Structure 1
Amino acid sequence: MAEGDKPLLIKRYASRRLYNTETSDYVTLDDIAKFIRAGREVQIVDLKSGDDLTRQYLLQIIAEHESKGESVLPITVLNDLVRSYTTNAQSVVPQFLAASFEMLREGQSKMMENFGAMPNPMAGVPGFEAMQRQQEAFLKSMMGGWTGGTTGPAPDDAADGDDDKDAELKKIKQQLAELQSKLSKM
């Protein structure tokens, strides 16, 4: 397996410091976020117990970005996520979110392909190519956090007759559509 294919192993010491095993130096949460934005998978484990702490640290990175005013998740979505931990919809939400982000990744790929393939009447203008490269870099940086795989297919809405689950799933779909609309306006 090539080095880029396996996750970057970060070890957490008893002092809570995070150690990058590839570069043999300590890293911060910001460093880990940069690795992920660059497309690298990261695995964070406790040195002593061997417990996988990746999910905990990824949630912490998201929480820090949200608290700094870099909000991506609307309050209604956050409320629905909290509710999903206390309802039977918990089994539906992870699959739905994974399928939704997979759709966003596919849309991003198609948008980037179409962006590069479009003939532009401005192509003859001096400096146009540099401006186009800057736009492509901007789009890649904006969408760079959405790389990787998915956990499975979207759940079948018709398979469950429970009205509460259907209503909650419909609400989540509506919120996702609103989020996609906002992203498409960026």
Structure 2
Amino acid sequence: MAETAKDAKPLLIKRYASRRLYNTETSDYVTLEDIAGFIRDGREVQIIDLKSGDDLTRQYLLQIIAEHESRGESVLPIDVLTDLVRSYTTSAQSVVPQFLAASFEMLREGQSKMMENFSSFPNPMASMPGFDALQRQQQAFLKSMMSGWPGAAEDSDDANQTASGDRDDLAAIKKQLAELQSKLSKL
């Protein structure tokens, strides 16, 4: 049975005194952008200080988020950032982590449902020339967008779904989409 991202051991990154980050799996140095890529690919990452053994994961994840936000890749609205700052000085500090975790879990589930529902709606553009190419691009985009969300492709009843199960699901979705396109073209 294939190992899922949730079952896999985290990718261990060691920070040397020179502040360079070392990937212990590939035995090479990595950047923050490399680490962000591992995470987008569904990997769990743990960053430790080689000398002290301190876990630096949170610090580096926050740095990755700050760099993306400063480059204009804003995901966090000002209101949310303000509320987060406030939560550090209020009694809300104890409930904020659970609330955020539950909110992101709902987001992941919503994205999974969106992908399921996406294939069930007839598309009036199916008869348009070049639609197939556009559809392939859209599927590739959605796949890349969803790849950063662990559990996005998982069935809620079977969290340990294998890669062949994912291919079967994709084949079923393609079949449903083809059937819908056929029905639409008959209208």
TM-score bucket of the superposed structures, by smaller chain? 0.7 to 0.9
Which aligned segments of 4 or more residues in structure 1 are displaced greater than 6 angstroms?
none
Specify the code of the residue in structure 2 equivalent to 1:133: R
TM-score of the aligned structures, taking structure 2 as reference length: 0.72
Say yes or no: does 1:115 pair with 2:118: yes
Residue among 47, 56, 67 paired with 1:44? 47
The Cα offsets for residues 91-148 of structure 1, whole Å up to 9 and x where unpaired, read as 1101111111111100100111112343434445554333212112222333443325
The 1:137/1:71 distance shift into structure 2, 3 A limit, reads: same
Q: Distance in 1 between matches of 2:35 and 2:121?
A: 35
The Cα offsets for residues 21-79 of structure 1, whole Å up to 9 and x where unpaired, read as 11111000001111111111111111112111111100000000111111111111111
Query: Tell me, which stretches of 5 or more residues in structure 2 are unaligned?
Result: 153-187
Specify the code of the residue in structure 1 equivalent to 2:91: N
Residue among 25, 29, 32 paired with 2:32? 29
The 1:148/1:115 distance shift into structure 2, 3 A limit, reads: closer
Residue among 64, 69, 75 paired with 2:67? 64
Query: Tell me, which stretches of 5 or more residues in structure 1 are unaligned?
Result: 150-186
The 1:15/1:93 distance shift into structure 2, 3 A limit, reads: same
Note the C-alpha offset of 1:3: 8.3
State the secondary structure of the residue aligned to 1:130. helix
Say if 1:101 and 1:146, in contact at 8 Å, map to a contact too. no
- The answer for the alignment partner of 1:181 in structure 2 is none
Q: Distance in 2 between matches of 1:136 and 1:43?
A: 31
State the secondary structure of the residue aligned to 1:45. strand
- The answer for the alignment partner of 2:138 in structure 1 is 135
TM-score of the aligned structures, taking structure 1 as reference length: 0.72
The 1:31/1:74 distance shift into structure 2, 3 A limit, reads: same
- The answer for the alignment partner of 2:101 in structure 1 is 98
Q: Distance in 1 between matches of 2:123 and 2:82?
A: 44
Residue among 72, 76, 86 paired with 1:73? 76
- The answer for the alignment partner of 1:83 in structure 2 is 86
Q: CA RMSD in A?
A: 2.1
Aligned length: 149
- The answer for the alignment partner of 1:179 in structure 2 is none
